[in-house]
Structure 1
Amino acid sequence: MDLLNVRIAAEPDIARIRQVTSAIAEACELKSFAKTRIVTAVLEIARNALQHGNGGRAHFTIRSDRDLCWLVIQIVDQGEGLPEHADFVKGRRPYKAKSGGVRARGMGLGLTGVQRLTDRFDLDSSKEGTRAELAFKLPSSGEHESELGERIAEKIAELSATDPLAELSRQNRELAEAMAERELLIDEVHHRTGNNLALINSFIQLSKRGAQSEETREAMAQLESRVLSVAKVHQELQRANLSDRIVLMPLLENVAKHAQDAFSNEELDITISVFGDQVSVSGSAAIDLGLIVNELITNAYKHAFAGRRSGRIDVSFEQDGLKNDETIWTLTVKDDGVGLRSEIKPERSNSLGWRMVRAMSARLTGTIFTGSNDGFYVRIEFPMAFATELRLEDSD
């Protein structure tokens, strides 16, 4: 009959195993010496599992064998097994580790005493871990195994109810395990995302090189630039150890560089400058900002420099003066191109690029303004809580 499993991952777990073993021994109506014998043997092996086996678990069961009833505790660890030089001899002789006539330290220490304390002791060890099985005869009272199991279960329930520290330790451990599993899954998702983005970008580049028309090559270049913007945010998230906060300036500089590489050619040489305050934003906001800046730079390349061989685009993210008694952040993309007539409102355009800019700006609680002043500019205002200013040590 299975009773319960107890994880062995930290020192509080050893205390938990002591309490559980003691409670089970009491439920089995063992006398003081027999109870002490069981607790001592179990704790010796449990501590070995924690200190030398990278942790593991203890499994408590009740087994019937003819007229005998046994309490069996199996402790399995996750270590690399017993050292190769240890030669353990089974049978009724004590387990000894040969090491120049001196009993080996580490996992072998205390095994002789454990065997003497148990009624039956079995040990298996390999490079995958070590399994120790300790068995103790229980008093023969004619009691059915299920009845004994029920009494032990009640005792364990009482222990959990009257021991809030142990229960808190268990809950904290489960939470830590869940968080560790979550981090592993997130890491795997980011790894797969990076591979997928690289694969998509390779397909786009192949399509662009094989395109026959200039219109198709231009569309492929825009798509490549968008994918690279998302890929850069993904790389920055990994560099920030998946903290979900990204330093904005290096991201915008890379987005600008990728756009410049995608659209510059022998007939058009555009200089792009990126500057502003050192801030961090959330990962999701960084993705949107990268795509917004990429779209606005792309629009400038397509429309601002008709009939010209050179030009300039400035990208900035800065803290601005008070507006409605509040300081705001502003993202500005400005070119020195031909500009637009005042009656033309590109932000109302139904093109895919402007629909993306409007949707992402609204999602970030941003407000769009456009105008012509020695060229064309797009200014998006964000509330102060949108970005966090970096301390000096954060930006080093």
Structure 2
Amino acid sequence: MADEIEGVFLILKRDGTIEKITGYGADIPHGMGSFAGLMDHGSQEKASNFLDKIRKNGAAYNWEMNLRNLKTYHFSGFLDSDRIYVVGSPSREDMIKIYHLAEQYIPPAPEIEIPEHAEVEKELFNELTRLNNELSAAQRELLKKNLELQRALEEKEMLLREINHRVKNNLMIISSILNIQSRYVKDRDDLMLFREAQSKARAMAMLHERLYTSGKERRVDFGEYLRGLVRDLYHSFIQDSGRIGLETDIDDAELDINTVVPLALIVNEVFTNAIKHGFPEGRGGIIRVSFKRSDDGYLLEIFDNGVGLPEDFDPMSTSTMGMQLIRSLSEQMNGDLKIESHGGTRVSIEFRDWNH
């Protein structure tokens, strides 16, 4: 197994001086000097901090540093008695393998000697020795488990990024197909339906792209995402930017994916409704999107100064598909939805993040 892996195992004195170094398929420039001396100039301070962490906390896991030959290694180590045991490798998986190979070099905790004429029972010293040995073994086992857990977590994160990447690509394909199909649609209302479906697919594709590029499993920078979403909607539906303007006042905030998905669909629906119904017959105006922190959470508002809603229009009881969707999504995220029509139309939703 040693032929198939690359890495190094080191035994250091407490001050960081190398006492023993064992290489496993590694070409590492070193002499019997200090641990920091193995590193390039930019990583030497980090190597010292790594050892300080071990001396203070008993162990340190997965520190990334560059060797003198500029190769990047991951290092983990622990303190046992007056020695520091360190394993390093380009990959976490090889770190675990090297640790298993090097176990023969890690001694059990030393026996506690009984002082002469000590007035304590020998059994007590034997028990203390046994407990000390068990603690050392548990510490080594904890190091192995941490390395294995880090490898599993890295694989999970890689899989999630790949899933988000594929979902984004599939949604963009759907959007492209809808765009091609819309070229053959002659009816204006039917064409708007195609564009709305296409915008929803793009909105979800943008969301999965953010999850993929950020490397975060569940959190999204909603402020940045919302700015991109409304710009995309604006340029998709409005050909004459001189007639209808766009204003935004959007704060930055990280939100859970379970909050962002319904919010994105609400924004999509309200924004397209404003364009479809707010400015008929060449009427001009402004669409304003605001996202702010409120006392109990967050407040999202979309306002247009168009013709407003009909006098007899009741947004809470209407059976139109768009309003039903907005109400359903608001209830899904336990949001407080308000729709007002004074000098235009204002849709606001006050909500808390999903995991709070």
The bucket for the TM-score relative to the shorter chain is 0.5 to 0.7
Matches of 2:293 and 2:185, distance apart in 1: 43
Render the CA deviation track for 1:186-239: whole Å, top value 9, x for unaligned. Answer: 121122122212211110111111223222211110011111111222222234
Corresponding residue number in structure 1 for 2:24: 49
Q: 1:365 aligns with which of 334, 346, 355?
A: 334
Q: 1:161 to 1:8 in 2, by over 3 A?
A: farther
Task: Please give the root-mean-square deviation of Cα atoms over the aligned residues, in Å.
Answer: 3.5
SS class of match (2:183): helix
Q: 1:387 to 1:381 in 2, by over 3 A?
A: farther
Render the CA deviation track for 1:266-315: whole Å, top value 9, x for unaligned. Answer: 59932121213332222332232222111001111121122333221111
Q: Aligned runs of 1:84-163 on 2, under 5 Å?
A: 163=137
Q: Aligned runs of 1:1-396 on 2, under 5 Å?
A: 47-49=22-24, 51-52=26-27, 163-242=137-216, 244-265=218-239, 269-320=243-294, 326-383=295-352
* CA contact 2:259–2:333 (8 Å) conserved in 1: yes
Return 370-379 or 186-195, whichever deviates more: 186-195
* CA contact 2:168–2:206 (8 Å) conserved in 1: no
Shift of 1:328: 4.0
Matches of 2:262 and 2:235, distance apart in 1: 21
Structure 1: runs of 5 or more not aligned:
16-42, 54-128, 130-158, 321-325, 389-396
AA of the residue aligned to 2:309: L
Shift of 1:372: 1.0
Corresponding residue number in structure 1 for 2:105: none
Matches of 1:296 and 1:308, distance apart in 2: 20
* CA contact 1:160–1:167 (8 Å) conserved in 2: no
Structure 2: runs of 5 or more not aligned:
12-19, 29-93, 95-132
AA of the residue aligned to 1:48: G
* CA contact 2:308–2:341 (8 Å) conserved in 1: yes
Corresponding residue number in structure 2 for 1:23: none
SS class of match (2:24): helix
If you compute each CA radius of gyration, which structure gives the higher value, 1 or 2? 1
Render the CA deviation track for 1:328-382: whole Å, top value 9, x for unaligned. Answer: 4211111111112454222433333323322322222211011111011111111
Matches of 1:216 and 1:341, distance apart in 2: 23
Q: 1:267 to 1:241 in 2, by over 3 A?
A: closer
Q: 1:374 to 1:191 in 2, by over 3 A?
A: same
Matches of 1:284 and 1:250, distance apart in 2: 17
Q: 1:380 to 1:302 in 2, by over 3 A?
A: same
Matches of 2:206 and 2:257, distance apart in 1: 11
* CA contact 1:268–1:309 (8 Å) conserved in 2: no
Tell me the TM-score normalised to structure 1 length. 0.54
Render the CA deviation track for 1:41-78: whole Å, top value 9, x for unaligned. Answer: xx98xx3226449xxxxxxxxxxxxxxxxxxxxxxxxx
SS class of match (2:279): coil
AA of the residue aligned to 1:308: G
* CA contact 1:297–1:333 (8 Å) conserved in 2: yes
Matches of 1:190 and 1:328, distance apart in 2: 27
SS class of match (2:186): coil
* CA contact 2:7–2:26 (8 Å) conserved in 1: no
AA of the residue aligned to 1:345: D
* CA contact 2:218–2:256 (8 Å) conserved in 1: yes
SS class of match (1:210): coil
* CA contact 2:303–2:347 (8 Å) conserved in 1: yes
Q: 1:167 to 1:267 in 2, by over 3 A?
A: closer
Matches of 1:177 and 1:247, distance apart in 2: 27
Count of aligned pairs = 245
